[in-house]
Amino acid sequence: MKKFDHIIIGSGLNSLVCAAILAKSGHKVCVLERNPQLGGCIATDEITLPGFKHDLLSSWHPLFVTSPAYAELQADLERHGLEYAYTDSPTAGLTSQSESYIFTRSRQENAKALAEDAPGYLAAMEEIEAHAEFIFPLLSQQLRRFRFFRVLAKFSWKMGVKKSMTFAKTSLSSARDWLQQTSSNKAYHACVAPWVLHVGLGPESATSSMMAKVVLFTLEAVGLPVVKGGSYNLVNAFQALIEEHGGTLLTQSEVCEIIIESDRAVGVKLTNDSTLVARKSVIANVTPQQLYGELIPQKHIPEDLHSQAKRYRFGRANMQIHIAMDEPAQWKNSELNNVAMIHLSDGIDALSKAVNQSEMGLLPEKATIVVGQPCAVDPSRAPDGKWILWLQLQELPRTIKGDAGKEIQAPENGEWTDGIKEQYADRVIMRLNEVISNLASSSLKRVVLSPKDLQSMNINLVGGDPYSGDCALDQNLFMRPTSLAKNHDTCIKNIFHIGASTHPGPGLNGGSGLLVAKQLSKGIRI
């Protein structure tokens, strides 16, 4: 029987961060991945044609390059070959009336383009700067610890009661309220509002205004960086770093049970009936249902915790379309040709409509189309002179009850089929043909990944939810994943829970992996 200090279930970014820091601290670590390759939601594949390197699932890494995890591990990862490519034109909004707004890394340029609407944007960025000492610990620290309460107390004392209450009220407001109160620019709304989808919210969600502002602030700082040569090079760098310090990473190794003796985890059992010993801890990068419904035997779980975990909700589904092109995309608004990510949307009302239709179980008539152009940042993603498009649809139902466009027949069982995903992709491409002049003539091949396909690629993407759980306020911050689980602790003393289903939630930042690694590393306080 192989023995390790720490066994980590799952190999997503949080697992890799956790394993790297523990291994560097002298701990014997083992990472177990059920799939044939490591990385979780980080995967690069020539899914269309040879030479076209598509990032499947995740692609853009602004949260990681600004994270404490990257700050700590950057030198090591770069030593093992990691290199990021950056852009000064990270994102834009485009309406069906061909109105566009390009957001750059220059605050001055952004304000100039907004003209009379600039004060609202400038005030938002100044708000983030003024409250950074509280906002970023809120999004990066364990919240039920003395250290965070000290941050909260210091912030409240400095601000005073009235200003603190005003900040809280503003932070809880929706993106719709903020944008409509500060700007009339529809293209700016189309640029900014869809970013709340990328953090698992909608335009009417509580806290969505604050998250949209944080996203803009981050895009100002670093743009939309991508890993040169494909995101999987980040996984390769982590693997080399972990193995350099004696760590073990095993693929096709699915855990079916955490072995518990005397109220402590002592190891894990794999589906092939083999067992591995964990001398110090087991760290699970899984959903609450997997952890409390499958991995930890139910007799060890308090009934109220088991019930809360069972009721944990998943959010809207996601679909991706990957396209190989014979030449760079030629947008009819030519200033968009080299923008990293464009949101095709008619603003907040259109966004709300699509979100509401998806939550009713309908295929949206006119969903927000996220158009990523990785080659605009990293030309090595495609052969010379070629191009790839990374398309994302984030307002889709996990179970299909009907079609708001009244064109696609819903299946009786509600499941996504190959036929439905291709029909819906046709609807998306038809709209893109109106704004990209050479899309039809230059497309070489497309591959569509439905919500069902995404879940088959990563078990944590339940129903195609890319964020491993609804991010509404009752499942966020102190409440993620439940109100009964303190920080990343569980009902078993030496089992820890990390990943997108835990605080600080989804997004490639490595936050939960870092926090647990710090908690377990001798002499390091969090």
In a domain, 435, yes or no: no
Across residues 29-37, what is the average pLDDT? 98
Give residue 507's pLDDT band: very low, low, confident or very high (50, 70, 90): confident
Which one of 170, 189, 222 terminates a domain?
222
- Residue pair 1/275 in contact by the 8 Å Cβ criterion: yes
How many domains does the structure of the chain reveal?
A: 2
Residue with tokens 């819903």: 410
Q: How many CB atoms lie within 10 A of CB 412?
A: 6
The reported pLDDT for the residue numbered 60 is: 97
Do 237 and 288 share a structural domain?
A: yes
The reported pLDDT for the residue numbered 145 is: 87
**Three-state DSSP string of 180-220:** HHHCCCHHHHHHHHHHHHHHCCCCCCCCHHHHHHHHHHHHH
Q: CA 526, 470, 459, 389: dihedral to nearest 10 degrees? A: -100
In a domain, 182, yes or no: yes
CA-based angle 449:60:385, to the nearest 5? 80
pLDDT digits (tens, 9 = 90+) for 171-221: 999 999 999 999 999 999 999 999 999 999 999 999 999 999 999 999 999
Among 433, 197, 174, 233, CA closest to 319: 197
Q: Are strands 369-372 and 341-344 parallel, antiparallel or unpaired?
A: antiparallel
pLDDT digits (tens, 9 = 90+) for 51-62: 999 999 999 999
Do 201 and 278 share a structural domain?
A: no
Paired tokens of 228: 């040169």
Question: E strands of 88-173, at which residues?
Answer: 91-94, 100-103
| Domain containing residue 175 | 120-222
Among 466, 478, 411, 508, CA closest to 61: 508
CATH of the domain at 34: 3.50.50.60
In sequence order, the 6+-apart residues with CB closer than 8 A to the CB of 50 are none
Which one of 222, 239, 270 terminates a domain?
222
In a domain, 159, yes or no: yes
Among 477, 461, 494, CA closest to 283: 494
pLDDT digits (tens, 9 = 90+) for 114-173: 999 999 999 999 999 999 999 999 998 998 888 898 888 988 898 898 989 999 999 999
The reported pLDDT for the residue numbered 523 is: 47
Rounded to an integer, what distance in angstroms lies between the CA atom of residue 251 and that of residue 169? 47
Does pLDDT of 526 surpass 50? no
Among 68, 54, 62, 87, CA closest to 17: 68
Do 136 and 203 share a structural domain?
A: yes
Least confident of 38-42, 67-71, 352-356, 519-523: 519-523
445's enclosing H/E stretch is strand 443-449
In whole angstroms, what separates CA 433 from the centre of its chain?
Answer: 28
Average pLDDT, the chain: 96
As a whole-number percent, the residues of the chain with pLDDT over 90 amount to 94
Which one of 187, 222, 257 terminates a domain?
222
Among 10, 8, 12, CA closest to 40: 12
Across residues 442-458, what is the average pLDDT? 98
Which sign does the torsion angle of CA 292, 255, 498, 213 carry? negative
The reported pLDDT for the residue numbered 323 is: 98
The reported pLDDT for the residue numbered 92 is: 98
Among 175, 506, 509, CA closest to 315: 506
Does pLDDT of 524 surpass 70? no
The reported pLDDT for the residue numbered 125 is: 97
Rounded to an integer, what distance in angstroms lies between the CA atom of residue 328 and that of residue 37? 31
- Residue pair 251/38 in contact by the 8 Å Cβ criterion: yes
Across residues 409-438, what is the average pLDDT? 97
The reported pLDDT for the residue numbered 1 is: 72
- Residue pair 392/319 in contact by the 8 Å Cβ criterion: yes
In a domain, 355, yes or no: no
